[in-house]
Amino acid sequence: MTEDVTQRQAEVRALARLAGDELGGAVDGIAAVHRAIAQRVFAAVRWGVGPAAAPVELMHDAIAESVYRVVGGSAVAAGMVAERAADLPGVAPSRTVYGSGLLAALQGLIGDDLERTRPILAGPMTFRIDGAPVPAELVGARVQRPAAHVVVFLHGLVETEHAWGLGGGPTYAERLESDTGCTSLQVRYNTGLHISENAAQFSELMQGLVDGWPVPIERVSLVGHSMGGLVARGACFVASGAGVPWVRRVRHVVCLGSPHMGAPLEQLVHYASAALVRFPETRPFGRLLRRRSAGIRDLRDGSLVDEDWRDLDADALRRRVVREVPLLRDAEHYFVTATVTRNSRHPLGRVIGDGLVLTPSGSGRARSRRIGFDVDKGMHVASAHHFTLLNHAAVYRALRTWLASESAGSDEVSR
């Protein structure tokens, strides 16, 4: 049995079992909501008619519990039956565009849980070539033209490397290789893990790449969309503090729509989940929201280091004080923001931003916090949303100009 077939069988079986378990859990949640509402209704009925309501309540409860038990059990059984599809011929979901997109969505939502319970669906951080994982030390032997300038692209939350092709046409990576002669590489990772965990993994991956590259690497440029920009910053900080050699070659870090100050949607969900768990009728919905991954929770304030989350209550309403991570010294840092409005100062643009990230967060400049970006090393895209930044003509022109610049380079960070 080939490795591809084994991988496909493992992924399909895990997906089928997960679907059955999650559907069964959803039925249990619906049952809990039904039960809580029924208890309030029958409490009111008993207040009006007295003990006469008891037989009706008992019959209702017995029927409802039986129905939910059968439906929930059937969902789990259906998942087990679907596992048999793993024996049919085909390609592993993680090797296809749509299959990897489904896995990316699952990872973004519950990737930390998958890492513990179904690691085959979590997957390690890897370089990807044509959708297939390639060990870091072997990437140089697999690319057509290994160059001294390497540009590494990191996707955002619930995305894969395929996201860079959104909208059609050549990707940033393809155009940069054609126009500048660099080598562009794509990374895929589990966005449900803590950003600091992914940053540490990325640092290790980059060192393996540098060690195995067939020609001396003179320049490394990191381009991250959304969460990818935070992972890039975190990796540079970790590597610099530990003295890992690869970071000395970093000359550019570009963040496209990255929530350095946090994302308002996660902040809203954080408080909404706390409100929902207070009442029996809405508690299942609150618990569902609290299942969101560690990666999503880190977007609340843009947390990049372990100390921002380790040994802390993730559901505490008290606002955390996050550590400000300095930018890498002697590397050029650039940012791109967007608003759905034509004017970034439009009231709607100020409130919505690009739909997920507000302009102050994307530029690292808020009233209470400053990341340290040079205002002259950023750009704003009007009438665009968060995912527009994955493939946009104006953004590419800026990338081509920025990544052509030289920087002295150092493994130290600014203070």
Q: What is the pTM of this model?
A: 0.85
The CATH number linked to 224 is: 3.40.50.1820
pLDDT at position 409 over 70:
no
Residue ending a domain, among 90, 111, 127, is: 90
**Within this chain, do residues 322 and 372 fall inside the same structural domain, yes or no?**
yes
pLDDT at position 235 over 80:
yes
**Within this chain, do residues 279 and 408 fall inside the same structural domain, yes or no?**
yes
**Within this chain, do residues 320 and 246 fall inside the same structural domain, yes or no?**
yes
Residues 47-61, mean pLDDT to the nearest whole number: 57
**Within this chain, do residues 188 and 319 fall inside the same structural domain, yes or no?**
yes
Least confident of 39-43, 76-80, 110-114, 353-357: 76-80
pLDDT at position 72 over 70:
no
pLDDT of residue 164: 97
pLDDT of residue 321: 73
Nearest by Cα to 155 from 257, 261, 248: 257
Q: Which of 8-22, 120-134, 266-280 has the highest mean pLDDT?
A: 120-134
pLDDT-based confidence at residue 27 (cuts at 50, 70, 90): very low
What average pLDDT is seen over the chain?
A: 84
145 CB-side CA count, 13 A: 12
**Within this chain, do residues 135 and 65 fall inside the same structural domain, yes or no?**
no
**Within this chain, do residues 13 and 123 fall inside the same structural domain, yes or no?**
no
pLDDT at position 324 over 50:
yes
pLDDT at position 94 over 50:
yes
**Within this chain, do residues 66 and 123 fall inside the same structural domain, yes or no?**
no
Higher pLDDT, 57 or 366: 366
**Within this chain, do residues 17 and 138 fall inside the same structural domain, yes or no?**
no
**Number of domains, the chain:** 2
**Within this chain, do residues 128 and 77 fall inside the same structural domain, yes or no?**
no
**Within this chain, do residues 86 and 96 fall inside the same structural domain, yes or no?**
no
Q: Summarize pLDDT for 147-176 with one digit per residue, the tens.
A: 999 999 999 999 999 999 998 899 999 999
pLDDT at position 93 over 60:
yes
pLDDT of residue 44: 60
What distance in Å separates the CA atoms of residue 124 and residue 133, rounded to the nearest whole number?
9
pLDDT of residue 285: 72
pLDDT of residue 319: 66
pLDDT-based confidence at residue 284 (cuts at 50, 70, 90): confident
pLDDT-based confidence at residue 410 (cuts at 50, 70, 90): very low
**Within this chain, do residues 27 and 140 fall inside the same structural domain, yes or no?**
no
pLDDT at position 307 over 60:
yes
Q: Which long-range contacts (CB under 8 A, 24 or more apart) does 302-308 make?
A: 302/230, 302/259, 302/260, 302/261, 302/262, 302/361, 303/194, 303/195, 303/196, 304/195, 304/196, 304/199, 304/230, 304/233, 304/234, 304/237, 305/196, 305/234, 305/237, 306/194, 306/196, 308/196
What distance in Å separates the CA atoms of residue 302 and residue 263, rounded to the nearest whole number?
8
Strands 332-338 and 378-381: parallel
Residue ending a domain, among 57, 90, 123, is: 90
pLDDT of residue 306: 95
- Of the chain, the percentage scoring pLDDT greater than 90 comes to 55
pLDDT of residue 139: 97
pLDDT of residue 345: 85
Least confident of 29-43, 81-95, 173-187, 383-397: 29-43
What distance in Å separates the CA atoms of residue 99 and residue 337, rounded to the nearest whole number?
30
Least confident of 59-63, 131-135, 172-176: 59-63
pLDDT of residue 9: 74
Q: Summarize pLDDT for 175-223 with one digit per residue, the tens.
A: 999 999 999 999 999 999 999 999 999 999 999 999 999 999 999 999 9
Residue ending a domain, among 90, 106, 140, is: 90
pLDDT-based confidence at residue 330 (cuts at 50, 70, 90): confident
**Within this chain, do residues 34 and 151 fall inside the same structural domain, yes or no?**
no
Higher pLDDT, 186 or 101: 186
Range of the domain at 382: 91-415
pLDDT of residue 357: 96
